[in-house]
Structure 1
């Protein structure tokens, strides 16, 4: 499986100017929106006795782990699902196909609020129906905070030069997904989920091209080299 891509470029996702503007987001927007909101919710729940520090110590990490499972599943089974018709393929193009085609577009490296807010409302609504806010509030916060870490690390792997061995390994893991093995390496904020389920992969090592006989041109493939 290979995908064509255009480096250091961007393109339009929608013909409608309003939708096009909504599809672009500065990388700081999710953090400016969700951090004050979730910290305010946490302070309110602690002050009002809705939850406790003890429950938070248990359910925030469980929420983060839940997000890691959601991140992997959404990326592998939804973002990379193209379906069989023009509608499903258009959905794929909007949700993820554009990012693979223009991997360096800085305005589309984090999830826009128009996508993340409905998802947060659905998750929060389901947890509200469950009741037990002493557990569900810190669990919900863990999911949101896990998502923010994911957004930051995805932006970093594309936009920043890693300085640590872990950062370099994570970037290589994600770049292999983009430029060599788009059907592998679905973990974005981590590598261990791919290792756990056996969906990890590496970019093939570069090999020197054999000398071509005079008058022949080498075959050119698209989308498999950075």
Structure 2
């Protein structure tokens, strides 16, 4: 992916690292906030879910509007190739299924500092924790959809949803940790024009995930 040896190594990450790094750090941060009276259990119960929801929106927007934006020049196409294009070319590269630390550490630091500057740690501290937990959930589920056989109907549906994005409709199915964002915004499933053509010919629509490489 990179000719530079450092960048090549830094772009790879074991899928367990986000969990092992960010979960203890955020639990410690939350414990520090609760023990020091900087936040409360009630605010944590409210703002952690809000942070999780914020990540879901961030995940969808980043994937749809940044990762799949190629621009018109060689620089923007190169950015796309590094950010997401490589993953679509080599979706089973197990070392590049979670975001590398050279991306997540600066991004999480920027978000954390920005929220601290808001000046309301009682709300912003658990809100930040929720965002990070949402990210860790996303990265873990993304790895699992590629490298684990789902055992539940929900897991199979999520995997079919994401595999369809990779191998059938890369311009649809942008939700990775969820499918409801695509349902809400009308970007899920098959392309509308394809469904209309099949209906006009009287063809039965294929089952979700049919013809998609496992």
Q: TM-score surpassing 0.5?
A: yes
Write out the 4+ residue segments of structure 1 that deviate beyond 4 Å after TM superposition: none
* Aligned CA-pair RMSD: 1.5
Residues 15-34 of structure 1 aligned to structure 2 (within 5 Å): 15-34=3-22
Give ranges in structure 2 of 5+ residues lacking alignment: 196-210
Local SS of the residue matching 1:139: helix
**Partner residue of 1:120?**
108
**Partner residue of 1:150?**
138
**Partner residue of 1:84?**
72
Distance 2:91 2:153 in 1: 23
Q: CA deviation at 1:128?
A: 1.0
**Partner residue of 2:89?**
101
Distance 1:30 1:164 in 2: 24
**Partner residue of 1:170?**
158
Is the contact made by 1:110 and 1:151 (CA closer than 8 Å) also made in structure 2?
Answer: yes
Q: CA deviation at 1:202?
A: 3.8
Distance 1:195 1:175 in 2: 16
Distance 1:142 1:54 in 2: 14
Structure 1 residue 65 corresponds to structure 2 residue 56: no
Alignment length, in residue pairs? 196
Considering fraction of residues, name the structure with more helix.
Answer: 2
**Which structure is richer in relative contact order (CA contacts within 8 A, separation 6 or more)?**
1
Distance 1:124 1:101 in 2: 33
CA displacement 1:43-64 (0-9 Å, x = unmatched): 1100000000000010000000
CA displacement 1:74-96 (0-9 Å, x = unmatched): 00000000011111111100100
TM-score (norm 2): 0.89
Give ranges in structure 1 of 5+ residues lacking alignment: 1-12, 206-223
Residues 49-60 of structure 1 aligned to structure 2 (within 5 Å): 49-60=37-48
Choose the corresponding residue for 2:184, options 179, 188, 196. Answer: 196
Distance 1:225 1:157 in 2: 13
CA displacement 1:88-122 (0-9 Å, x = unmatched): 11110010000000000000011111101111011
**Partner residue of 1:185?**
173
Is the contact made by 2:163 and 2:212 (CA closer than 8 Å) also made in structure 1?
Answer: no
